[in-house]
Amino acid sequence: MNETHELRQDFVPKNPVEARLLALHEGRLTPEDFIAEIRREQLFLPVLDDSAGITGFQKSDRAQPLVVEAEGGVRVLILFTSPERAKAFTAHFPGFDKGGILVDLDWILARMEPGIGISINPDWEIGYDLEPFQVEQLKASTGGA
Percent of the chain with pLDDT over 90: 75
Amino acid present at 87: K
Mean pLDDT of 69-81: 96
User: Does the pLDDT at position 55 exceed 60?
Assistant: no
Q: What is the reported pTM?
A: 0.85
Beta bridge partners of 102: 44
User: Does the pLDDT at position 125 exceed 50?
Assistant: yes
Q: Are 64 and 102 in contact (CB under 8 A)?
A: no
Q: Are 119 and 78 in contact (CB under 8 A)?
A: yes
Q: What is the DSSP letter of 65?
A: B
Residues with Cβ within 8 Å of residue 83, at least 6 apart in sequence: 44, 99, 100, 102
User: Does the pLDDT at position 6 exceed 50?
Assistant: no
Domains present along the chain, CATH in parentheses: 41-141 (3.40.1350.90)
